[in-house]
Amino acid sequence: MSSAILILSGPSGAGKSTIIHAAAERIGEFYFSISSTSRTPRKGEQNGRDYHFVSKEAFERGIEAGEFLEYAVVHGNYYGTSLKPVYEALKAGKLVIFDIDVQGFHLAKERMGDMITSAFILPPSLTALEQRLHGRSTDDPKVIAQRIQNAKREILEIGAYDFVIINDDIARAAESFVAVANAARLKWGSKEREKFVKQWLSS
């Protein structure tokens, strides 16, 4: 199967991780992009599973070398998406999946252009999102309120995405996700099209 880049966005509580897990056996080999950070691991966190943990100096060398798709400083620590494992996964023919916010998506589009296929995942309504966030019982009310405000802003960018997946039922959403993943693998970027046209005309 051909390699591809698939970017997923959507509010916290949309069920992105659950959908990927439900579809995992039907989308071929894939690499789920893990962020890099210069902060020290918290108890229970594992390098390569939760984050790629690197020193501040190593992170800054990576920034200077242009190795990050996007990065930010949060509470004095660097967080970002390293391109090195992404390119390694693409070379191996894997589907590379990003779970990033709308801002990160636009940065990725600037950097990678039509190499990217994108999907916005969300619950069927704002009310459903609120119910899910409260039902998780993992965040305090202030955090939930902030997540809801973020969702209201991000949904205004839905038109920038190739596909929309409404997660009102995990099985149906997983079926849609499999279709999107297959479409991503079939998509040709401008460089691939130009190369094919040249080969076709000369054959």
**Mean pLDDT throughout 86-105?**
90
**Mean pLDDT throughout 174-182?**
97
Structure tokens, 124: 């069927």
- How many other C-beta atoms can be found within 10 angstroms of the C-beta atom of residue 190? 10
71 beta partners: 80
Whole-number mean pLDDT of the chain?
Answer: 90
Same structural domain, 137 and 194: yes
Same structural domain, 75 and 18: no
Domain count, the chain: 2
Residue pointed to by tokens 């960018």: 157
More confident residue, 134 or 177: 177
Last residue of a domain, one of 92, 110, 132: 92
Same structural domain, 88 and 167: no
Cα 107–chain centre separation: 12
User: Is residue 6 exposed (0-12), middle (13-18) or buried (19+ Cβ within 10 Å)?
Assistant: buried
pLDDT at position 152: 93
Where does the pLDDT of residue 1 fall: very low under 50, low under 70, confident under 90, or very high at 90 and above?
Answer: low
Closest by CA to 35, choosing from 106, 84, 92, 102, is 84
Quote the domain boundaries for residue 107: 1-29+94-203
Same structural domain, 5 and 88: no
